[in-house]
Amino acid sequence: MITFEFHGQMLLRLVIATVLGSLIGYERERRGKPAGVRTHGMVSLGAALFTVVSLYGFGGAGDPGRVAAQVVTGIGFLGAGAILHQRDSVQGLTTAASLWVTAAIGLSVGVGMEVLSVATSVLVFLLLRFGPRPRVKTAQGDLE
């Protein structure tokens, strides 16, 4: 039987996943990117919820790894929608990658790997915040 304490633990996992995803989304939104706090928070929350339900919602029947694989596939489609190809440039790769890693963070929180999830979130935030940015070509072909 699933107890009230168990529900509290699972709810805490969902809250942690949402906060970590939102942290990454904050950095993307601060840079003016279309996928921000809400999108990243929901991706992480959804991945964590799918994980928790697959682990505990079916009485141990089935393979939880299959749900994780399907989350990865679904996020691939979401990320593909974030990538735009125009002439000689491709935009949205970092947003797609941040959505992908946010789903992984949600999955890891869902299975109870909170420390790994927090560490990954900090690394992603630092990479987005301080990592090198690609240079943009101007109309004259010069690099900015």
pLDDT in tens, the chain (144 residues): 678 898 999 999 999 999 999 999 999 999 898 899 999 999 999 999 999 999 988 877 778 888 889 999 999 888 888 888 777 778 888 999 999 999 999 999 999 999 999 999 999 999 999 988 776 655 565 554
Confidence at residue 143, expressed as pLDDT on a 0 to 100 scale: 53
What's the pLDDT at 144? 47
Which whole-number Å values give the CA distances from 65 to 2, 40, 111, 114, in the listed order?
22, 22, 11, 18
The answer to whether the beta carbons of residues 106 and 97 sit under 8 Å apart is no
Count of all residues that appear for the chain in the document: 144
Tell me if 141 is assigned to some domain.
Answer: no
In a domain, 135, yes or no: no
**Spatial distance between the Cα atoms of 42 and 68, rounded to a whole number of angstroms:** 16
In a domain, 9, yes or no: yes
Q: Is residue 136 part of a domain?
A: no
**C-alpha to C-alpha distance for 111 and 87, rounded to whole angstroms:** 42
Which strand (E) or helix (H) includes residue 141?
A: none
Say how many domains are in the chain. 1
Q: Is residue 17 part of a domain?
A: yes
The range of the structural domain enclosing residue 8 comes to 4-130
In a domain, 137, yes or no: no
Give a yes or no: residue 144 inside a domain: no
Q: List the beta bridge partners of residue 137.
A: 143
- Is 99 inside any structural domain? yes
Q: Name residues whose C-beta falls within 8 Å of residue 80's C-beta, 6 or more positions apart in sequence.
A: 96
